[in-house]
Amino acid sequence: MGAALTPPAATPSTMIDRFGRSISYLRLSITDRCDLRCTYCMSEDMTFLPRADLLTYEELDRLCAAFIQKGVRKIRLTGGEPLVRRNVMSLLRLLSRHLDSGGLDELTLTTNGSQLQRYAAELRDCGIQRINVSLDTLDPDKFRAITRWGDLHRVLAGIQTAQRAGLAVKINTVVLKDLNEDEIPRLLDWAHGHGMTLTLIEVMPMGDVGIGRIDQYVSLSLVRNRLAQHYTLSELDERSGGPARYLRVHETGGKLGLITPMTHNFCESCNRIRITCTGTLHTCLGQDDASDLRAPLRASADDRLLIAAIDRAIGTKPKGHDFIIDRRSNQPSVARHMSVTGG
């Protein structure tokens, strides 16, 4: 991975890794469960964690407070599907105090949209201003095929409810070979026509999903070249705090994001860490590194052991990921499913 750089001096309230990257963005999975079974994310017959293994909301809140103390400015709740965890709004109400105090710049979440009709107004009331919704097609039959049993109309109604509640919505689309790659222009026109940014994502080789990744993977370089035949695209010098690079689509006036873990490694500017619902910290989505935070969290009423464990973990953050998709190996690059890590 190359020699480590000499990082700038860190204070006790900051997280600087050995390559000089400042860690300010926490993606926190609060459940591995989901009400869909998207073919690129999980297998159809998933075995989920016992609920007793999950961190309690009080523990998740304490964990977040420790990371805010360490310099995290943005927290994104993920899953699985975060909105299927029972009494989820009680956690959001706890975390929203950090927005009120100025400890956090942003609290947000990524959702499949299935629960938005129920929760959109409460999300807004907790200080959430924008959300990401995973949506890979506007065709009901394709939607059911990709999610294995999802209801597209329920998701579209949820998106509409979220917008009416005042939430900004960004659509995340995983581009899948021979399934939705021909639908990208339609998705682009639809999203921009409804005031939403569209972000395209390359499929990542994580977890055994029962389908060969070579049969799913499409390079976004190819997708961009196809779009450029019909749209005028220009680079934007803009970041949302995540890995996406943005383009302006002049015909629609909207923005198009590209997340390219396979064709364009974005690790040099990575400011993110991920924590699972059981308290395992992953400093890189595409590596098998893991640090247990649950044990130090539960070992003491104060945070000294927890902070020490966090500091050790940040010191192991790798320079980048090593995702590989090829025909010689049908094994995922990373054994854990995306739903376990959090998207």
DSSP string, 244-306: -EEEEETTTTEEEEEE-TTTS--GGG--EEEE-TTSEEES-TTS---EE-HHHHHH-SSSHHH
Residue numbers in the known binding site are: 27, 34, 38, 40-41, 76, 80, 110, 134, 170, 204, 267, 270, 272-274, 284
Residue in this structure with the two tokens 């009423």, named with its chain if needed: 301
SS (H, E, C) 80-108: CCHHHCCCHHHHHHHHCHHHHHCCCCEEE
What are the DSSP E strand ranges found in the chain? 25-29, 74-78, 106-111, 130-134, 168-175, 197-202, 233-236, 245-249, 254-259, 272-275, 280-282, 291-292
* pLDDT (tens digit per residue) in 179-234: 899 999 999 999 999 999 999 999 876 455 445 556 778 899 999 999 999 999 99
Is the pLDDT at 338 greater than 60? The verdict is no
Residue in this structure with the two tokens 């940040």, named with its chain if needed: 314
Residue numbers in the known binding site for [4Fe-4S] cluster are: 34, 38, 41, 267, 270, 284
Structural Rg of the chain based on CA atoms: 19
What is the value of pTM for the model shown? Answer: 0.86
User: What is residue 343's predicted lDDT score, i.e. its pLDDT?
Assistant: 57
Set out the domains of the chain in order of their start, with CATH numbers.
25-341 (3.20.20.70)
Which of the four pLDDT bands, split at 50, 70 and 90, describes residue 47?
Answer: confident
Residue numbers in the known binding site for GTP are: 27, 76, 110, 170, 272-274
Residue numbers in the known binding site for S-adenosyl-L-methionine are: 40, 80, 134, 204
Q: What mean pLDDT comes out for the span 117-128?
A: 98
